[in-house]
Structure 1
Amino acid sequence: MSDKPLHNGHRERLTDLIMNCGIENVSDIQAVEFVLTYIFPRGDVNPLAHRLIDQFENFGNIVDANYQDLMKIKGINERSAKKISLLSEIFYYYSSSKMRKKLSLENKEEFYDFLEELLRFKNTENLFVFAIDHSFHILQKRRYDLKQVREVGIDPLEIFSLIHSTRASSLLIAHNHPNGTAKPSKDDSDAFLYIEDLIKNVHCSLIDSLVVGNDGIYSEKKDGFVRRFETLDNIISFISSK
């Protein structure tokens, strides 16, 4: 007898569980298994969820993994590996589409919310350059692989092109430190000064350089945290100070 109805029933129960409890309140295996049902329309994906967690430890590492590494896992072919690795693009598109309501830097807390959602839980380093108009609305943003930027730098023509095409009056840059403090390194500070000096030539100003780490959001302009995240270390430090 076919086991298809059995698997379908399990998928329905898993969907109902997550609808009722929220995906953050189920086990890692259940969460990964649920996501896999979108990639594998049929069959039991629970064993595959276990293999992925065993290899990559958590959902974030699975999504950020190179698709060629995913193909080494039993049960994953090239097509499904690419679909898994493209999940991060879907999440990025979701965050990006929310910005289309024209976020304004005048509402700093709303912008920090957006930036936290965009960068806080990224397992890879990303750099964003935001084009800003005279009213402090965000016109456009461009994303760069920070590892590549550190190796070859940002082409000044790309920066000038962004300013020219959007008619931006100022820029804001932001990047993340995965699993590290938001406090900027010397390279971060040098890059901030380089871009600030570069865009003066086209009558554009650099509003700030923000760094998102596991402890908060740091402003290089203000030389301090503009938002602190609730981490275990912060909580312990707060309790110890009492």
Structure 2
Amino acid sequence: MAGGEHVNHRERMRQRFLEHGLDNFADHEVLELLLFYAIPRGDVNPLAHRLIDSFGSLANVLEAETEDLCRVEGMGTKTAAFLRMLPPMFRRYQTSKLQGSVFNTTEKVAEYLLRYYIGRPREQLSAVLLDNQCRLIRICDIAEGSTTSVHINIRKLIQCVLQYNAAHVILAHNHPRGRCSPSRADIVQTSTIREMLKNIDVRLVDHIIIAEDQWISLASR
């Protein structure tokens, strides 16, 4: 009987979403709806509450590390992997929608990057790849560092540029716990990469640094 009640509850939740969307769902209910697809049977409502209680918000749950998620009673690595997959999937969705868009001003690129870096707890270096008409081809994540630094993987950057036949590149990275101001290392690395890309007839247009709701362009400096 209890199993039937859980099945009916899941169907009611799904139908509620299909009819009304997520606007009237509390955070724990959104999480519960997601958990249906990672844990196919049983009552996941208590687990959803435990996760929200442990991390404070839906966003914090989705941005938590795997080992931290697995410390919550009822969580396993499979379910943690499912939740961890969602933020990068959202970013891929956003990038896919913008594919072919013209990024011909620093402001347009920066506006998108502000959204792209939401929820990144560590410094992440990315390459915005553009064709010769400044249309977006793809955004490639090149390297992930700590909360205060990231080292550029030059080999991976060159591979991405050649794989997608980019004509122009805009580097970007975030400062999760700091200001937009570039470090000396940022400036030196940018100069080095500009010369390396020039050797394969690719132009480094800019290097944009994101810090929360602010950004700075190294090209403008």
- Same fold judged by TM-score > 0.5? yes
Do the aligned partners of residues 30 and 155 (structure 1) sit closer, same or farther apart at CA in structure 2, a change above 3 Å counting? closer
* Partner residue in 2 for 1:106: 104
Paired AA for residue 211 in structure 1: I
8 A Cα contact 1:127 1:143, kept in partner: yes
Matched position secondary structure for 1:23 = coil
**Segments of 4+ in structure 1 off by > 4 A?**
16-22, 107-113, 148-151
Do the aligned partners of residues 82 and 156 (structure 1) sit closer, same or farther apart at CA in structure 2, a change above 3 Å counting? closer
Matched position secondary structure for 1:38 = coil
The 10-residue stretch of structure 1 (18-27 or 209-218) with the greater mean CA deviation from structure 2: 18-27
Deviations 1:66-110 (A, max 9, x none): 32332222112232222222223432332332243x122137666
TM normalised by structure 2 equals: 0.79
Matched position secondary structure for 1:68 = helix
* Partner residue in 1 for 2:71: 72
Matched position secondary structure for 1:212 = strand
8 A Cα contact 1:104 1:111, kept in partner: no
8 A Cα contact 1:104 1:138, kept in partner: yes
Superposed displacement of residue 207, structure 1: 0.8
Do the aligned partners of residues 112 and 15 (structure 1) sit closer, same or farther apart at CA in structure 2, a change above 3 Å counting? farther
Backbone CA RMSD of aligned residues: 3.1
Q: State the percentage of identical aligned residues.
A: 27
After superposition, residues 172-187 of structure 1 pair within 5 angstroms as: 172-178=170-176, 180-187=178-185
CA distance, structure 1, for counterparts of residue 54 and residue 149 of structure 2 = 29
After superposition, residues 1-242 of structure 1 pair within 5 angstroms as: 2-18=1-17, 22-23=21-22, 26-100=25-99, 102-106=100-104, 111-147=109-145, 150=149, 153-178=151-176, 180-223=178-221
Q: How many residues align structurally?
A: 220
Matched position secondary structure for 1:202 = coil
Superposed displacement of residue 187, structure 1: 3.7
Deviations 1:8-65 (A, max 9, x none): 3433444455556653553322222222122122222111012112222222332233
TM normalised by structure 1 equals: 0.74
Do the aligned partners of residues 169 and 82 (structure 1) sit closer, same or farther apart at CA in structure 2, a change above 3 Å counting? closer
